[in-house]
Structure 1
Amino acid sequence: MSRAPARRSNGDRANLYSEITDRIIAELEAGRLPWVQPWGTDRARTAVGLPRNAGSGRPYSGINVLILWGAVIERGYSGQGWLTFRQAKALGGSVRKGERGTTVVYADRFVPEDERRRALEKGEAPQAIPFLKRFTVFNTDQCSDLPEDVATTAPPVPEGLILPRAEALIAGTRVDFRIGGNRAFYNPMYDFVQVPPPQAFYETLNWHRTALHELGHASGHRTRLDRDLSGSFGSRKYAFEELVAEITAAFTCAALSIIPTVRHADYIASWADVLREDNRAIIRAASQASKAADWLMGCLPEHVVIPATTLDNEEVA
């Protein structure tokens, strides 16, 4: 016998409606239209389509489509498959520790037993009561050990886009390195790097610089070189760590005979602010970058031959 859903107060429903509406407003204020898939022609090639339950294959509908599209965009997930915690476990997998879920809703109507009796006694049609139920779901990117037909499948990288030496170095670091999504970042809390696929970049050499930049951040993890990675976005500490990672990428690119590039003007401006406030910052940043580059190059397997390269100081700066 199925149980009737627990009743929710009008206040609970109103709060849930407000949460959803506020989320959509925030998307609009950020200049995004949550009902237009911005990745349809995106070179990052996040999977196009409706979000679906990765276990049953059933697509989500209504407001849940907008909620889950928004989560894919905000967090750079590479797939449209979602599971509850229990569903992931039932499939033999698990949600990785510390992952934050996304709340979706189930809306329906039901007729309580006492209303059925009242309507029967009065000879009236029973009145159904609307209800909303919350569920927390996780993108398959957030799960481990799922079956192959359920797990997110990263877009295949065409042969030759990743230089063999760079690929060997990435593997040698043993950092959790993920290819997919539409953002490049290092997550220090969960210690993983994510970079869009090489074909997402206008120049594939920039994929290598970006990958090495994010690995530069990863080198500072407490289990490696133990740098201070606690700076919040926009802070001087954050800008300094960005400078370290960028110089690390330049050093490592040069060692791998890859022409290094730099980031856009906003980053350069933040670095300039750091240097104006502390005339020793560039020396400290370059020193830490050398240690990071040495650590990365030390991860390259010995059998991979690297041609000798030189890099003068002007080129680094």
Structure 2
Amino acid sequence: MAHAPPRPTPDRTSVYREVTDRIIAELEAGRLPWVQPWSSDRVRAPLGLPANAATGRRYSGINILILWCAVVERGFAGQGWLTFRQARALGGSVRKGERGTSVVYADRFTPRDERIRADRDGDAAHSIPFLKRFTVFNTEQCDGLPGAAGETAETVPPGLILPQVETLIARSGADLRIGGDRAFYDIKADHVRLPPPHTFRQPIDWHRTALHELGHWTGAAHRLARDLSGRFGSAPYAQEELVAELTAAFTCASLSIVPSVRHADYIGAWLQILRADERAVVRAASAASRAADFLLAFGPSHTANPPSSAEAGSDGGERLCHAEIV
């Protein structure tokens, strides 16, 4: 006999709602959280992805957006973060009165009643995916840290940015075709079409566009196997555009390229998706992190997070929301 999987309790879904409401508020204000921070004169932190200052591992998925927002709103000058215990383990401490930032990691649990039912019926128990909070502090909120822990990772020198992007594109092996006046990924033929570079106002805009379309390219069945079947104007199509936008933003930030907006006209569609499904932005950010890591592995400095099947728990700050959220 088939059994419906158990549903999460309200307190477990509140994390999704809280994160989604924040992203919705930004979009309603006309700001894209993955672009706007780096166009503001108020930002003190260098362009890049937030990282755990104890391990060097970079945060991923929705945590990137959460920590980028914190850097902007609170004026931190660095992208390094630690848990309270990590700061102590490094010989430092979080200053008294400092307020931390809640980030999340994905996990699953099986309710007791579901375990009993599965044992009784002799079938598999259905577990429930959920997000769990933990608190991190920017290294600026800590005292007594060793020098390396408080340092901000160096950005790519300006003269190396374009060569690094070009190396990534070349090493990816993507079938890149130049011509026409449209940029798109052809799913059936598995190639990326881009207008000639000279048709863009700035050379870097051609590279930004290439990274966006390569974001779609990563979703092919023989790569990361995302659902690319959505028709133009549909919710699945807009969801995939959100994944590609975030992929380009995360990849650009890793390469010291200020992210830009490729499809601002999708904001209305994204708002509809987020209002209808509180997990949509978490899924999109998680998929985008996988796609960005896939692309960055082709870069000259291999700037992607190394894959890990057994990431640390909440105190390590490194179960970074790559787990599937359904």
TM-score (norm 2): 0.42
Structure with more relative contact order (C-alpha pairs < 8 Å, separation 6 or more):
2
The structure that has the greater radius of gyration is 1
